[in-house]
Amino acid sequence: MGRVLCGALPRGTVFQTIWKQLGLQVSLPGLIFCLWPLLRSCVTVAPVPVGKRCLAVTDQSLGVPGTVSNTALRSRKLGKLLMPRFPSTLPPMTVLDCILDGNWRENGILHILDVIKWKGQDIGDCETPFRFWWRDTRLQELPSSSPPSIRHNAEASGGLEQSPSTAYRFPYPTTFAGIPYHADTSMSSLATAIVPLARCNRAISVQIPVLESEEEGMSVDVPKSLQLTATQSAQVASDGLLLYVSEASFEPGTNPLSSWVPLRNYDADQHGQDTGTQPEVSTAPVDGPLDVFARLIQRRIAGMSSVAMDVENAI
């Protein structure tokens, strides 16, 4: 199978794209059934977090990593900055395909989906399993990034210091978490492991500065590396799963690299929008795409079992 091009579609709809190109009037279940062999050559990413798709781009900044503003988050569709540049421990000349968590102000999480370039080395032309392996390996090697202190946060916000009763709000992401991927996309794995994972929230440990009332009366500034932090578990809501074509790579064009199977039904006019707000949820009493996908898997398993029994009886 040749490479699948990747372009401007922020969340791929490979089945709908092929459907339109062929001009077929086929139901979604029938279309997926016809293309089922393609699913066997996919890598699944689940659970996909709720958030905003973006690109993280770092430059060659002078200074100590993690202290200079070397990272920019840009919209995948419009290319505009989502927030001011901020410091991170990511290496220079790196481009990552990311999802900015929907509650990043509360948990400081930037989910790393894919790697396009790492430290000046092009990774996007490699196949999907290698890119995901590279992503997880390199993220584990990164030094931890401490969030700004509460006093620093107050200075950056114009002197509006947070009270002890106010929850800490991150000025920029400090936790870079890879989204789990699954190379085994067999029917049994999809039915028993991957789809259930795509329905569940994910817990991620994050570091949050200790509020000043908990710092035992400390009134002197401490270095960022020595500031007191507490580990908390952040619950990340799921937005379904992504099916990546294993042999696909990043290349210019408009064909999708992956197919998104959302957990819920979203209004059609909200698909692909880059507004920064949560999509509106359809009130129609129908199952979500992930429910339909799960039923198709069960039908496929039942059909395979029936064929196996017929063969056994014939023997």
Cα 173-178-184 angle, rounded to 5 deg: 160
Cα separation, 75 vs 98, whole angstroms: 10
Q: pLDDT band at residue 18, thresholds of 50, 70 and 90?
A: very low
- Most confidently predicted of 34-38, 192-196, 290-294: 192-196
Cα separation, 25 vs 32, whole angstroms: 13
CA end-to-end span of the chain, whole Å?
Answer: 35
* pLDDT at residue 60 in the model: 84
Q: What is the pTM of this model?
A: 0.77
Mean pLDDT of the chain: 76
Among the listed residues 212, 281, 184, 210, the one whose alpha carbon sits nearest the alpha carbon of residue 240:
281
Using omega within 30 degrees of 0 as the cis cutoff, is the peptide bond preceding 147 cis? Answer: no
Q: What is the tens place of the pLDDT at every residue in 135-192?
A: 999 999 999 887 887 665 555 555 445 555 467 899 999 999 999 999 998 888 999 9
**Who wins on pLDDT, 148 or 281?**
148
In residues, how long is the chain? 315
Among the listed residues 259, 258, 277, the one whose alpha carbon sits nearest the alpha carbon of residue 267:
277
Of 81-95, 200-214, 216-230, 247-261, the range with the lowest mean pLDDT is 216-230
Position 143, amino acid? P
**Who wins on pLDDT, 23 or 119?**
119
